[in-house]
Chain A
Amino acid sequence: MIGDFVIQHAPALLIAVPMLAAFATPLVGRLGGAARNAWVLAAMAATSVIGVMLAYDVYTTGTLIYTFGAAAPDAAVPMDSGGIPVRIIFTVDAMSAFMVIITAISGFAVLLYSMASESRASGRDGFYALYLLLIVGILGMVCTGDLFNFFVFLEIASLAGAALVAFRIDKGVAVEAGLKYAVISTIGGLFILFAIALLYGQYDALNIAVIASRMQFTVLDEIALVLLLSALAMKAGAVPMHFWTPDAYSMAPSSITALLVVASQASLYGVFRVVFTLYSVTLDYAVIGWIVIVLGVLSMFVGVTMALVQKDVKRLMAYHAVSQTGYMLLGLGVGLAVLGQPAALESFGLVAMEGGIFHIINHAMYKGLLFLTAGAIIYRTGARSLDKLGGLGHSMKWTMVFFIIGALAIAGVPPFNGFASKLLIYESVFLFNPILSIIAMVVSILTLASFVKVFHAIFMGPRQPEYAEVEEAPVPMLIGMGVLAAVVIAFGFAPQLVVDAIVAPAAAALANQGSYIAAVLGGV
């Protein structure tokens, strides 16, 4: 049956479908724009369905192993290899499945939106080919169980991302942002490869589970950890390596910005995978935990203060993205800091991790939504400065509603999803260190202040003569925004359901290194 086949080979199809579709896109584009759009939408829909099926499978039956080229997909260790998994293995645990779900939802909603937002642009064959390649890169990064494979997918995501940032040349400014993003990504990628070489040189393995089980934490391992952490934090846009974020996010086409948020979170996933799964028990928890916490607090605070003074609406939102990344680092950092103390981990560490992980999906949804509304405004008015915009509430009512939903969610106002995850973080972090919790709340208040200002500047006020002709955004854009807004509201009303179903297993999977290793190497 085709259903069984898909389930059995879901991890491979998850990568193969969008990648083959991407390279076929320019060919299909020869048949005309409509055929190409249908092709790309069908490919993305198929990818999302496979992704959700895979995630469901993982949540019901546990960590899934897919060995490429083996007789059976779950034969990770060949009989005659001496206990070493020599093939490339995809290890999809609950945390990976969680990231796959995010990519599936965002990827599809954003693609729908881009059907309308890019309808006036040229070179769309290449645009959609790169779009699908970016999806391939993100999905590969979160699914793979092989360090070198992780590097390859990281490079695919980086190259596609940089090319998409620079896609609309825009008098060269977008290219400037794209060049910055490409250089940063390449340096980061080389750091990671160097770290992988250091690990390979010591442990003769590339598989994450094998390296984790052999980890000695020598001086070379410490160097590798520093290289991996700094490169991935840079790719995730954490302060003090955030300088590329506002440029790339503000100059990329709005649909791409929403997807770049997901790409950054795939790098964030890399950070967590490295500290929790690769190093885990060998790490001196408190020190590394505190480093991650300090990175998070700095990101929160610097991001929001820089955002307050911005005039460009997308640049402002980009700084907020930096700030929100801080919450995730804070939550997971607290979890890491108490990983070695079972009592503390039980009482608040796991909750903090759940808060941080829940915030990842919430952030992808509401920040994507906000970037899409900004894109709709720019699409209709051609203006992006808060000084010029005004009075759009009269003509773009739906866009305004979606903006309000996104803004309240990012500010952590109930009953939207941002509140649910931030509450988990506040409560648990307060038990760890009250000052951190208070900083997090202050940042939330500043975020609210900033978005009230933006809302007032764009939508309030009398109808302005130069925007008299402005209409509501096209229907596909509204549908794309509607999908994300629906998720924001649904997660806000039933947070406990979501936490129990997909977030708690993800947190447990990160905290439990042993089960990850056992899934690949066999029973322990």
Chain B
Amino acid sequence: MYFDLPFIAAAVIATIGIITMLFRRNLVKMIMGLSLVESSVNLFLVSLGYRTGAIAPIFTNAPSVRMAMPTVQAMTLTNIVIGIATTALLLSLAMVIYRKYGTVNADDVRKLRG
């Protein structure tokens, strides 16, 4: 039960993020929701990699116990970097929209229709 906690937390964070994206009309808040979903995926990845009693795979002076495969940690790092790039791009687009339209309310940012 204790080890399920990170997974439950990931699910809760993802839900909050998706609800934020669906029900907030402010573009910046929608982007924040997206970042929350991303964090939940990161949390999920890292929790997957946990092995009870295993140590980090550093071979110098290592005790002879099980080592955890660091694949998911590497994936999480990659995703964090990608996430920063995405968030920066999204926020800069939102900034341009605010400059041109004078608003970041998604209901008003609707010139493209049909």
- A interface with B by C-beta (< 8 Å): 148, 152, 155, 159, 162-163, 166, 169, 171-173, 175-180, 182-183, 186-187, 189-190, 193-194, 196-197, 200-201, 204, 206, 246-247, 250-251, 306, 309-310, 315
Given A186-B34, A187-B34, A197-B45, the answer on whether A172 and B89 have CB atoms closer than 8 Å is no
Distance in Å from the Cβ of A168 to the closest Cβ of chain B?
12
Residues of A within 8 A of B85 (CB): 159
Q: Determine if B109 and A176 form an interchain contact, defined as CB atoms under 8 angstroms apart.
A: yes
Q: Determine if A172 and B41 form an interchain contact, defined as CB atoms under 8 angstroms apart.
A: no
Given A155-B82, A190-B38, A190-B41, the answer on whether A163 and B112 have CB atoms closer than 8 Å is no
- Interface residue? B32 (CB, 8 A): no
Complex Cα spacing A175 to B112, Å: 11
Complex Cα spacing A418 to B30, Å: 41
- Interface residue? B37 (CB, 8 A): yes
Q: Determine if A176 and B112 form an interchain contact, defined as CB atoms under 8 angstroms apart.
A: yes
Which interface class (under 10, 10 to 19, 20 to 34, 35 or more) fits B?
Answer: 20 to 34
- B interface with A by C-beta (< 8 Å): 21, 27, 30-31, 34, 37-38, 41, 44-45, 48, 69, 71-72, 75, 78-79, 82, 85-86, 89-90, 93-94, 96-97, 99-101, 109, 111-112, 114
Complex Cα spacing A166 to B21, Å: 21
Q: Determine if A183 and B34 form an interchain contact, defined as CB atoms under 8 angstroms apart.
A: yes
Q: Determine if B93 and A178 form an interchain contact, defined as CB atoms under 8 angstroms apart.
A: yes
Complex Cα spacing A205 to B85, Å: 27
Residues of A within 8 A of B37 (CB): 187, 190
Given A179-B94, A183-B90, A310-B114, the answer on whether A152 and B82 have CB atoms closer than 8 Å is yes
Residues of B within 8 A of A197 (CB): 41, 44-45, 48, 72, 75
Q: Determine if A182 and B90 form an interchain contact, defined as CB atoms under 8 angstroms apart.
A: yes
Residues of B within 8 A of A193 (CB): 41, 45, 75, 79
Q: Of A152, A172, A310, which is within 8 A of B101 by CB?
A: A172
Residues of A within 8 A of B45 (CB): 193, 197
Residue of B nearest to A306 (CB): B114
Residues of A within 8 A of B48 (CB): 197, 200-201
Residues of A within 8 A of B82 (CB): 152, 155, 189
Complex Cα spacing A175 to B92, Å: 10
Q: Of A155, A172, A183, which is within 8 A of B96 by CB?
A: A172
Distance in Å from the Cβ of A426 to the closest Cβ of chain B?
31
